[in-house]
Amino acid sequence: MSVEMLGQVGMQSGLTGKAVPSMSPYGSLHTKDEFAAAVEAGRCFAVCNQVGVASQAGLSLTTPVLTLANPAGSGVTGRLWYAGYVNEVVNGAAATAWLAVGTNTIAAAVTGTLTTTHRNLKLGSAGIVAGAQGNRIVPFLAATLPGVPVGLFILGVGLTGAITTVPNLDPSGRLFNGSVLIQPGDNISIQFSTATGALSTSCEYIWEECNLVV
């Protein structure tokens, strides 16, 4: 028994940005890694702090270390692929690190200092200044949120031992694989239960922007 299949050459894309099977130039049916396909399509972005800062103590609406905000009316849904942080200075007290969310979609807009160092992961595909990367979700260095966010995921914990006793520290973070959807009006930030050290904390996000999921 044989099965006949009809395929189209080249990468295909579903309505929500997921890669679907396509036909290679040599006649074989294949699928591409979903993240790699999204990067090739120019839908993925990354941002991190260029200079460390001290976090606020506890969940706060003022000046989180690094924030992603999806403005109301953006027309896109953000899919979070990764969030993480590092501390370069020992904590004064043990600190739980949360990925915190604000989900009041009718609240005031997030305001603050826009980043200029975020990049489309299809490198070289856009300009080098903020607003020219094609992103609609906005990364802020020092934001004011419309309300105190809720800690939703624990990314790690900062302790009080000297960091100079080990030769290397990996980032504390989590690979979300697009499983957190950032809808218009939502914001996410990494927050700490106690303040981190001066010039200490740098955060990182990798996200995708796809058609609005309703």
Q: What is the pLDDT of residues 71-98, one digit of tens each?
A: 999 999 999 999 999 999 988 899 999 9
CB neighbour class for 162 (10 Å; exposed up to 12, middle 13-18, buried from 19)? exposed
* Residue spans of beta strands (DSSP E) within 60-104: 67-69, 76-87, 95-102
8 Å CB contact between 148 and 59: yes
Give the pLDDT of residue 15.
Answer: 46
- Separation of alpha carbons 125 and 54, rounded Å: 33
Better-predicted residue by pLDDT, 94 or 29: 94
Per-residue pLDDT averaged across 142-161, rounded?
95
- Separation of alpha carbons 25 and 45, rounded Å: 29
Query: Model confidence at 28, in pLDDT bands (50, 70, 90)?
Result: low
Of the candidates 93, 84, 75, 89, which has an alpha carbon nearest to the alpha carbon of residue 185?
75
pTM of the entire predicted model: 0.84
Q: Does domain 43-211 have CATH number 2.60.120?
A: yes
Query: Model confidence at 18, in pLDDT bands (50, 70, 90)?
Result: low
Mean pLDDT of the chain: 87
Res. 196: pLDDT tops 90:
yes
Structure tokens at 166: 């080990």
Print burial letters for 20-44: b (CB count within 10 Å at least 16), e (below 16).
eebbeeeeeeeeeebbebbbbeebb
Annotated domain spans of the chain:
1-32, 43-211
8 Å CB contact between 102 and 186: yes
Res. 68: pLDDT tops 50:
yes
Per-residue pLDDT averaged across 28-53, rounded?
89
DSSP-assigned letter for residue 39: H
8 Å CB contact between 136 and 44: no
Res. 107: pLDDT tops 80:
yes
Give the pLDDT of residue 132.
Answer: 75
Long-range contacts of 31-40 (CB under 8 A, 24+ apart): 34/178, 35/81, 35/177, 35/178, 35/208, 37/11, 37/13, 38/208, 38/210, 39/121, 39/122, 40/11, 40/122
